[in-house]
Amino acid sequence: MSGFLKSSIGRKVAMALSAFFLMFFLLQHFLINMLSVISPDSFNEVSHFMGTNPLVQYALQPILIFGVVFHFVMGFVLEIKNKKARGVAYAKNNGAANSSWMSRNMIYSGVAILAFIVLHFIDFWFPEINIKYIQGDMSGMVEGIDGYRYFHELQEKFINPARVAAYVIAFVFLALHLLHGFTSAFQSMGATAGRKKTLQNIGKAYSVIIPLGFILIALFHHFNH
């Protein structure tokens, strides 16, 4: 495995595979969160299932965290390797003439997204881990008079306009990142032959609809708490 990752092709394939995994998770995460707008009760039920299912908690969740860390570390490695291979920075190589703004600035949109993920963990994941496994309080896992606590906690996070603004900005960067990354992942896997235009159109739709959907969710809860 280490030998595979030492080659340029190996690193690109690994990067693409981690991108596919994270894009699938992003879609699933979006669909679950959209339930908070359509049906709070359904959102609570699904969140309860995800929060108590041992497979999700002890197998899939660690895999997800590893996937996130791996993707960003590999992204930084590829950026460094690419710059060394060229011997000059993008700005000195007239990159604008050969590539899009998004492809030349993936590292910056990636850093912005990574900062958002840290904020998202502070907002939701760390408190959840603290309540369930450090404090040992499982009362929120049992449905009470007003139902499960998940929907209420979600709404509380979006009361602060500064936090909402941070989420909106982060998802704009995510859209920019995906606009290049979606097609690039397929290209790295050699899957664009004869279908590049189709994949670009699908990528554009995914890159706009998913981040915009998350923005609308944040704004919805901000104005309807």
Taking domain 2-223, whether its CATH number is 1.10.3470 is answered by no
- According to the model, what pLDDT value does residue 94 have? 54
- According to the model, what pLDDT value does residue 177 have? 93
**Cβ atoms of 107 and 75 closer than 8 Å:** yes
Closest by CA to 109, choosing from 22, 172, 25, 59, is 172
Q: What is the distance between the alpha carbons of residues 49 and 158, in angstroms, rounded to a whole number?
A: 23
Domain residue extents for the chain? 2-223
- Give per-residue pLDDT as tens, 105-129: 788 888 899 999 998 888 888 887 7
- Give per-residue pLDDT as tens, 9-43: 888 889 999 999 999 999 999 999 999 999 999 99
DSSP class of residue 162?
H
- According to the model, what pLDDT value does residue 186 have? 87
- According to the model, what pLDDT value does residue 140 have? 54
- H or E segment to which residue 108 belongs: helix 106-120
Please list the residues that pair with 144 across neighbouring strands.
147
Low-confidence ranges of the chain (pLDDT < 50): 90-91, 145
Residues near 3 by Cβ (< 8 Å), separated by ≥ 6?
A: 10
The pTM of the full predicted model, rounded to 2 decimals, is 0.83
- According to the model, what pLDDT value does residue 145 have? 42
